Amino acid sequence: MILAVASGKGGTGKTTVSANMARALDVDAQLLDCDVEEPNAHLFLRGEVLDTEVVGIPTPQVDPSLCDGCNACGAFCEYSAIVSFGKAPILFPEMCHGCGGCMKVCPRGAITEKDRRIGVLETFQSHNVMLTHGRLDVGVAMAPPLIRAVKGKMRGDAAAILDAPPGTSCPVIATLRGVDYALLVTEPTPFGLHDLRLAVAMTREINIPFGVLVNRVGVGDDRVQRFCDQENIPILMEIPDDRGIAEAHSRGQLMVDALPEYKERFQALFESIENLTRENPDGKSE
């Protein structure tokens, strides 16, 4: 099963939930930290670095002696990464999404590709968990290609848990595409509810079955729970606002290590999601 842990609001506990769930499983698990702008699961799952890999995206280069300035490339490019004003095109590599379209539409074969580095992948082994994360280079603003590279490390022979970036924009969509289930982590506050609504709308739009985990229950009110009731969204787990959890977290300790009762709770959470995806293999949680 491929499970993504996502949220609208940042700081609700995606990494806490995904790292603890992965560790709680008694079998081999893969954790893929898709928050490539700020990966942090490795802070809780310290382990040996097994592998490092540089990731690039193909960007165009133009042979001016072959170019006749027709601007077929510029007309094609959705992101204005290449544009010609009657002579050899000028390039904006930082805008290029690496689709290769300019090279295909060039009638004179003047465009070739070369890789532009955007970041690195690192893989760690920590007990039963193989953690892979991406680290986007400073100054690079395009996360989805690196997220796809992180997801490319899924082996398929172990449960995969994807720790998504916060929000509802392209990096989150890139993470959620193709997963079996999304667990939306929120907190019972007005901000939590507001951003949960956005996350619910997004997840429905891309047709991925989902449920909610409410973290830090007790800090706010019950509007998140009432919203989930009204919308028939299952709340799969509630974690109380507990000083013991916060203290463990601040030491970089996993809940399942510091508070052993959570090991069973996270195992049960994972099993309940597995059962939900088995009941509904083609999507639609409602």
Partner 1 sequence: MPLRCFGMVAPGKQQRNNELKIAFTTSGAALDAPLDGRFGRAPRFLIYDLDADTFEVINNEQNLNAAQGAGIQSAQTITQSGAKAIITGHCGPKAFRALRAAGVAIYNADAPTISAALDQYRNGELVESDDADVEGHWI
Site residues (vs partner 1, CB under 8 A):
74, 79-81, 83, 85, 87, 90, 92, 94-95, 139, 141
CA 69, CA 55: separation in Å to the nearest integer?
A: 31
Minimum Å gap between C-beta 92 and partner 1 is 6
Q: Which is nearer to partner 1, 107 or 139 (CB)?
A: 139
The residues pairing with 210 across neighbouring beta strands, listed in sequence order, are 182
CB of 133 to partner 1, least distance (A): 22
Least distance from partner 1 to the Cβ atom of residue 102, Å: 14
Q: Of the two residues 89 and 209, which places its CB atom closer to partner 1 in the complex?
A: 89
C-alpha span between 133 and 147 (Å, rounded)? 9
For partner 1, the closer of residues 48 and 78 by Cβ is 78
Quick one: 87 or 194, whose CB is closer to partner 1?
A: 87
Count of residues making up the chain: 286
Smaller CB separation from partner 1, 78 or 157:
78
CB of 73 to partner 1, least distance (A): 13
Question: Shortest distance, CB of residue 94 to partner 1, whole angstroms?
Answer: 6
